[in-house]
């Protein structure tokens, strides 16, 4: 079982409009709702790839109930979310059919009390013995300590479970010091962490700060990975347009699935890039186009940057 942690779960709502214009009223042609938050998106993709996944984190209020109802219909995903008194947030994606671009609006998460945070930590520790890997994903809701991910990384490592961390800012800086097996920042998050805007140098610096491996998302430029085994750049054959919501989460799913399947790093990166591009081209946030994914698997280019890291 792969465990994904989403402390700030969400109900992802996608509106499709003909053309998004400021200061104008719009007719929505289609509305879709999916359980969301980064770790939930990761879990959905992992399940579609055939892995058994357990989702934990926080859920609360009417929106939280909708998230859990929708999760119950996702094959291969087990709900182990921990209740809180506050309301789960919503995220709104407005997809412009004319340009293919998407505008994202993210609500804040619920306030988490110290008692609720303690309850989550206990649930997390109980789930780890059954996990083959764990992904810690996304922002921290109000009330959760900024060093929360660092503590969760240490708990996973103490249990002998490989851990991937995908967050940003101070939570990432503290989390890296706890020595996660993999981190997956985007270019901006990596620059903020290391102070370097040169990706090759920054990935190595992030490894020196504690990460076992660093996989940096460069947007349309693909992925740059620095690991114990070497450094690689993986790029899609063409630039893709569409809804980028969940594309980074699909990268995480590709990396985690490749890890538990013991694939070599280049093959993990190929899968991650193909999944990311297929997610951008899917019509709904947090899904991926399987046909595009399978087609791209044979087209993603991987080049070695150095023989060893």
Q: Burial of 123 by CB count in 10 Å (0-12 exposed, 13-18 middle, 19+ buried)?
A: middle
Phi, psi of 61 (to 5 degrees): 70, -170
- DSSP codes of every residue in 154-174: HHHHHTT--EEEE--HHHHHH
Q: Helices 247-260 and 265-280 meet at what angle, rounded to 10?
A: 150
Q: Catalytic: 249?
A: yes
Q: How many helices (H) and strands (E) does the chain have?
A: 10, 15
Active-site residue, selected from the candidate residues 205, 249, 267, 289 = 249
For residue 20, what are the contacts with CB-CB under 8 A and spacing of at least 6? 26, 94, 96, 99, 101, 103
* Residue 174, CA distances (Å) to 122, 192, 305 in order: 21, 13, 28
* Residue 230, CA distances (Å) to 13, 67, 203, 218, 303 in order: 40, 40, 12, 18, 11
CB atoms closer than 10 angstroms to residue 180 = 29
User: What is the C-alpha radius of gyration for the chain, rounded to an integer number of angstroms?
Assistant: 18
- Token duo for residue 38: 């980064």
Q: What is the distance in angstroms between the CA of the first residue and the CA of the last residue of the chain?
A: 30
Phi, psi of 74 (to 5 degrees): -95, 110
Which residues form the catalytic set? 249
């Amino acid at each position: 079982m792969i465990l994904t942690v989403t402390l700030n779960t969400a109900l992802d709502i996608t509106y499709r409009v003909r053309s998004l214009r400021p200061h104008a009223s719009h007719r929505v042609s289609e509305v879709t709702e999916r359980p969301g938050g980064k770790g939930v998106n990761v879990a959905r993709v992992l399940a579609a790839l055939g892995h058994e996944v357990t989702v934990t984190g926080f859920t609360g209020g009417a929106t939280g109930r909708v998230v859990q109802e929708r999760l119950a219909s996702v094959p291969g995903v087990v709900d182990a979310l921990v209740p809180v008194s506050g309301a789960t947030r919503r995220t709104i994606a407005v997809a412009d059919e004319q340009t293919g671009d998407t505008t994202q609006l993210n609500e804040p998460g619920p306030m988490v009390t110290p008692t609720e945070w303690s309850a989550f930590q206990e649930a997390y520790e109980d789930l780890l013995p059954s996990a083959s890997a764990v992904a810690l994903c996304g922002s921290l809701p109000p009330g959760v300590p900024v060093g929360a991910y660092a503590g969760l990384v240490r708990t996973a490592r103490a249990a002998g479970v490989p851990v991937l961390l995908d967050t940003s800012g101070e939570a990432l800086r503290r989390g890296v010091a706890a020595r996660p097996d993999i981190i997956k920042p985007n270019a901006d998050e990596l620059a903020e962490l290391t102070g370097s805007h040169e990706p090759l140098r920054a990935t190595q610096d992030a490894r020196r700060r504690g990460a076992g491996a660093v996989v940096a998302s460069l947007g349309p430029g693909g992925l740059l990975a620095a690991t114990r085994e070497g450094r690689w750049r993986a790029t899609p054959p063409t630039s893709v347009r569409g809804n980028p919501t969940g594309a980074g989460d699909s990268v995480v799913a590709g990396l985690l699935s490749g890890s538990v399947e013991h694939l070599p790093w280049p093959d993990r990166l190929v899968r991650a890039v193909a999944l990311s591009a297929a997610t951008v081209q899917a019509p709904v946030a947090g899904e991926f186009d399987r046909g595009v994914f399978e087609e791209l698997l044979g087209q993603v280019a991987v080049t070695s940057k150095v023989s060893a890291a």
